Structure 1
Amino acid sequence: MLIKSIFTNSSGILVSRILGFIRDLLTASILGANIYSDIFFVAFKLPNLFRRIFAEGAFTQAFIPAYAKSKRKIRFSSMVFLQLLGFLIVLSLLVSLFSTLVTKVIAVGFDAKTIDLAAPLVAINFYYLPLIFIVTFMAALLQYKHHFATTAYSTALLNLALIAALLISKDFEKYEITYYLSYGVIVGGILQVLAHLYAIKNKNLLKIFTFRREKKRESSFYKRFFEATLGSSTSHISAFLDTWLASFLVSGSISYLYYANRVFQLPLALFAIATSIALFPMIAKAIKNKDEQRALYLLRKSTIILFSILSISTAIGIIFDDFIIWLLFQRGAFDAVDTQNTALILSMYLIGLLPFGLAKIFSLWLYSYEKQFIAAKISMKALAWNIVFSLAFIIPFEAAGLAFASTLSGFILFYLTIKEFGLQKFINLFKNKSLI
């Protein structure tokens, strides 16, 4: 079941990422790497940051173990859904009302004119957050039932919406194109919601609404959720920090980091994230049933597979970095200099592929034991080192230095995660023949 689930997630992610690269190819060709691409990426980065922290990361890590242990699953899940959705809708309205102030905070290096251009886009894009939370909530229910296909493939709908927006607006003024892209984000979110509604109806999971509360389980969930939020936020804050610092560098730096990170995220998502999505409910259930031997077996099997694949991916990516960026992006407004700058940043990111991927797998052990606070402390330490490295490397190495700082923090994250898991237990994981 593990291999099948990993393959389902990987194939769905691959389809989505192929469409994502087509989207990025069109974006690079039509917008290039300039102030217009920068303001769209900044506008889309904020809801993406919150999406990954609250929805995809912290929510799933806290929800699945709590849902597994809940005796009144419908009551527990429905109140969590209504409470968090209400919060995110209010947050989106506040961002919309104060979009100029929010834009000043997230892009300090932008001048007043650029902030005025970006603010309306920030307001539009942020409404993607409540939509994607609805998707993530339904996805968590489906994951618990070992149904991964809908979530894996539905991300493609966002990319299809953005590709359509680019094709429709390609002959328009560049600033107008950014509006089409922003509304495309919202359309993509709506399509993802509809796809998941169809799936949970087929799985007979639509009975998720009741106004009776399960206060004890809710309280436990929110405690773990806020701890998981702290932990999940660090890697995304790191990426956000890169964007913030890059706004002080030459025009196009934000876009270089974005395009390089998109390539880096392909093997990370295709293998590490796909594996963690499939593995988490299995480990959580094994630990709930006090079957630690089964959990360790699954962890060992996943680690061996992931280590092999990520090592090969790292070598290929670094050797062919220029070729990859040239093949994917060098056309139209994206020239040879842009390719060279982006390729260097890609190599800096790829050095950290293996530690980031393995850390993601071993963190599942902590989440399954509801040790979200410990995982959060580990992530915060890695983030602190990332900030130190970023400030040290930005002046001599510019955008490439920011990418390498992120990579170094990945090694620290992996070491601290394994230390908490247990160094001896980690060694025994591969020496113990009973786990084969």
Structure 2
Amino acid sequence: MFFKAFLTNSSGILVSRILGFIRDLLMATILGAGIYSDIFFVAFKLPNLFRRIFGEGAFNQSFLPSFLKARYKGGFALKVFLIFCILLLLLSLFVWVFSLEITKLLAYGFSEELIALTAPLVVINFWYLLLVFVVTFLGAILQYKRNFTAWAYSPAVLNLAMIVVLLLVQNTDSYRSVLYLSYGVLAGGVGQILLHIYPLWRLKFFKLFYVGIKELKAKKDSITQSVKSFNKQFFPAMIGSSTAQIASFVDTLLASFLSSGTISYLYYANRIFQLPLAVFAIATSVALFPLIAKYLKDKKEDLALSALKKPFWFLCFLLSACVVGGILLRNEIIWLLFERGRFLREDTLLSAAVFSAYMIGLLPFGLAKIFSLWLYSQNQQSLAAKISAFSLVVGIFCSLVLMQFFQAVGLALAGSISGIVLLLLTLHYFGWDKFFTLIRDWRLIALWILSLCVEVLLISAFKHFVFEISS
């Protein structure tokens, strides 16, 4: 059951990330790493931040337990949906009215001229936030029936829409290109919603929504209590699931004070860093969460630990291999993916240095994803939020210090330090005794070390005898 759900989630994420790399390749070729790519990434940063926060578990970790407990499920689901839609609509209108001020907050280091160019893009892209909530809500409803396909593959629709727009505007001037690309983001959001319609119809959820309309009128008090319970869990869960994304958002703000192109270097490097994190760690946590929650709810901690052991070692092997390979092949990876058109060799080397700093935090961030499930399953969302907030503060402090000496690399390195702090604190509250029980397998430890040594030797031989881009 776990591996079937994992394969569905990871395959969908992998397809989406491959299309995302094609999208980024086109953006690097058409826009390069300069002013116009910077202003688009700033405009897309906030909705993209919330897309990741919603889509990578924060909403599901609160909504599904509350949905299961709710006596009137249709009314509860509709009320949550309406509350969020109204709030996001009002927030989007606020951004529209105060677009210049919001843009200045997003990129405080930009000049007035750049802020004026970026503000219209911020307004357009921000409307995607409402669309992505609808997508996340529909995906959570489907996951109640353990249907992960539409959720897993919906990000691919967004990337496809952006790729189509990039192909259409490749001979257009740079600012008009990013303007059309922003509208492509909205088109992708609509496509993501449409992808969920058929499975919702097939599983007869539209009947549930119809019944929910009647329940909202007749069972108002009971539904209100269910929504209050959901709210108490959602906001801590949102903070607890979003450390890496908020850190990336802060990095963009700080990078606006550095040299032109810095935001783009961070973006391209972070995109590659997010691939193994999403395909392996996030897909694992989504598939594992219902199982861990069920065992802990039934007070079967031994079975929960047993269910956690295989995914733990699975992530250790895969993410460690990605870390070693990513750092040793950093120049070659960036060269292969991005060095063409206006993306030059200097851009490759700078992005590669940032990428290697990000990769240091891959294993800590990935493992923190699965150990935090223990806290969520025991309704300790507030504790998880406090852990994440503390690690985020540590990361921001390190960013302010390290950017003075290492520029963009310092920002990425600070993010990795934040991930290490996040993992250590999560393990502390998970329980060191339970953690050492999980890793007390000397054969797996020896195999893990041996596999990493073999990987280092193979990559070193490849770089020496076949191909290497030196810095």
State whether TM-score is above 0.5. Answer: yes
1:309 aligns with 2:329: no
- Deviation by residue 1:140-171 (Cα, 9 ceiling, x = unmatched): 12222211111111211000000001011111
- Deviation by residue 1:47-86 (Cα, 9 ceiling, x = unmatched): 1123333564432221122222223222222211111111
1:273 aligns with 2:282: yes
Corresponding residue for 1:65?
65
What letter matches 1:314 in structure 2? V
Q: Distance in 1 between matches of 2:240 and 2:153?
A: 27
Q: Distance in 2 between matches of 1:236 and 1:25?
A: 22
| Secondary structure at the counterpart of residue 196 of structure 2 | helix
Q: Distance in 1 between matches of 2:63 and 2:300?
A: 20
Corresponding residue for 1:24?
24
Corresponding residue for 1:121?
121
Corresponding residue for 2:453?
none
Q: Distance in 1 between matches of 2:144 and 2:301?
A: 19
Q: Distance in 2 between matches of 1:8 and 1:50?
A: 23
Contact 1:62/1:370 (8 A) holds in 2: no
Shift of 1:304: 1.2
Shift of 1:103: 0.1
Corresponding residue for 2:172?
172
Corresponding residue for 1:372?
381
Q: Distance in 1 between matches of 2:411 and 2:142?
A: 37
1:393 aligns with 2:402: yes
Q: Which range moves more in the overlay, 416-425 or 293-302?
A: 293-302
What letter matches 1:75 in structure 2? G
Corresponding residue for 2:455?
none
Q: Distance in 2 between matches of 1:166 and 1:64?
A: 37
| Secondary structure at the counterpart of residue 121 of structure 1 | helix
- Deviation by residue 1:200-259 (Cα, 9 ceiling, x = unmatched): 111222223422431222111101112223323433221111001100111000000000
Corresponding residue for 1:94?
94
| Secondary structure at the counterpart of residue 147 of structure 2 | coil
Contact 2:375/2:384 (8 A) holds in 1: yes
- Deviation by residue 1:410-431 (Cα, 9 ceiling, x = unmatched): 1110000000011111112344
Q: Distance in 2 between matches of 1:13 and 1:52?
A: 12
> Closer, same or farther in 2 for the Cα pair 1:68/1:294, shift >3 Å?
farther
Contact 2:276/2:322 (8 A) holds in 1: yes
Alignment equivalent of 1:406, drawn from 409, 415, 421: 415
Q: Distance in 2 between matches of 1:67 and 1:431?
A: 37
- Alignment RMSD: 1.5
Contact 1:56/1:136 (8 A) holds in 2: no
TM-score (norm 2): 0.89
Corresponding residue for 2:336?
327
Q: Distance in 2 between matches of 1:418 and 1:75?
A: 38
Q: Distance in 2 between matches of 1:10 and 1:377?
A: 29
Q: Distance in 1 between matches of 2:53 and 2:88?
A: 13
Q: Distance in 1 between matches of 2:131 and 2:56?
A: 12
Q: Distance in 1 between matches of 2:231 and 2:88?
A: 15
Contact 1:65/1:370 (8 A) holds in 2: no
Q: Distance in 2 between matches of 1:112 and 1:66?
A: 46
Alignment equivalent of 1:292, drawn from 290, 298, 301: 301
1:247 aligns with 2:251: no
Q: Distance in 1 between matches of 2:23 and 2:227?
A: 40
Q: Distance in 1 between matches of 2:89 and 2:173?
A: 31
1:36 aligns with 2:45: no
Contact 1:143/1:281 (8 A) holds in 2: no
Corresponding residue for 1:74?
74
What letter matches 1:177 in structure 2? S
> Closer, same or farther in 2 for the Cα pair 1:238/1:300, shift >3 Å?
same
Q: Give the number of the structure whose alpha-carbon radius of gyration is greater.
A: 2
Which blocks of at least 5 consecutive residues in structure 1 are unaligned?
none
Q: Distance in 2 between matches of 1:296 and 1:220?
A: 27
Q: Distance in 2 between matches of 1:72 and 1:420?
A: 34
Alignment equivalent of 2:269, drawn from 260, 264, 279: 260
Q: Distance in 2 between matches of 1:54 and 1:8?
A: 19
The percent identity for this pair of structures is 55
What letter matches 1:154 in structure 2? S
| Secondary structure at the counterpart of residue 290 of structure 1 | coil
Corresponding residue for 2:111?
111
1:191 aligns with 2:200: no
| Secondary structure at the counterpart of residue 279 of structure 2 | helix
Corresponding residue for 2:156?
156
What letter matches 2:270 in structure 1? N
Q: Distance in 2 between matches of 1:189 and 1:161?
A: 9
> Closer, same or farther in 2 for the Cα pair 1:145/1:289, shift >3 Å?
farther
